[in-house]
Amino acid sequence: MRVLIAGVGNVLRGDDGFGVEVLRRLEQGLGGTPGVRFYESGIAGIGLVQELVDGYDALIVLDALDRGAEPGTVFVLEPGVAALAALGGVRDPFDPHQAGPEGVFRLAAALGVLPPRVWLVGCQAAECDDLGAGLSDPVCRAIPAALQRVYDIVATIRTAASEAHGPV
């Protein structure tokens, strides 16, 4: 079982650095876990798509979100991989250097490299426009919850793989 955990965002833009910060902490906690690879894509979505070409069974993307919720709210979303694949390609203009998770998912699906299981673990940002700012207090406080969500997802993946194919 191969799992890619990708941190997305710009660490120079306040809460937009959430995904990268969570990724760095996960590397400390899950580093050395067989089959788990960490990838910091920053804002270069095309790099993440290129990484997916190597073939993975699952993808977990970490990113700041704007879903109109209270800042610091953690979300776990599972995009419909079949629905993304059914789109038949990227119809909207696609900037390969600044593609967000949706654009990455759609392009990866169109290229046939999107893993069968995909999660987006995100946090409602408070501020992503202050150049040079760190994470806001609500987003900092959300990091432990996001870490736990990822640990739970990885445990679920490993359990399912073990049940299907024997010990991972």
Averages of pLDDT over each 10 residues, the chain, 168 residues: 94 91 94 92 84 95 93 92 60 55 83 93 87 88 97 92 70
pLDDT of residue 91: 55
pLDDT of residue 101: 76
pTM recorded for the entire structure: 0.88
Positions of E strands within the chain: 3-8, 36-42, 58-65, 74-77, 117-124
Is residue 114 within 8 A of residue 58, CB to CB? The reply is no
Place of tokens 């070409």: 53
pLDDT of residue 85: 61
C-alpha closest to that of 41 among 19, 26, 56: 19
Is residue 4 within 8 A of residue 51, CB to CB? The reply is yes
Q: How far apart are CA 158 and CA 138, in angstroms?
A: 31
Selected from 3.40.50.2300, 2.60.40.10, 3.40.50.1450, 3.40.50.300, the CATH number assigned to the domain covering 3-165 reads 3.40.50.1450
pLDDT of residue 86: 60
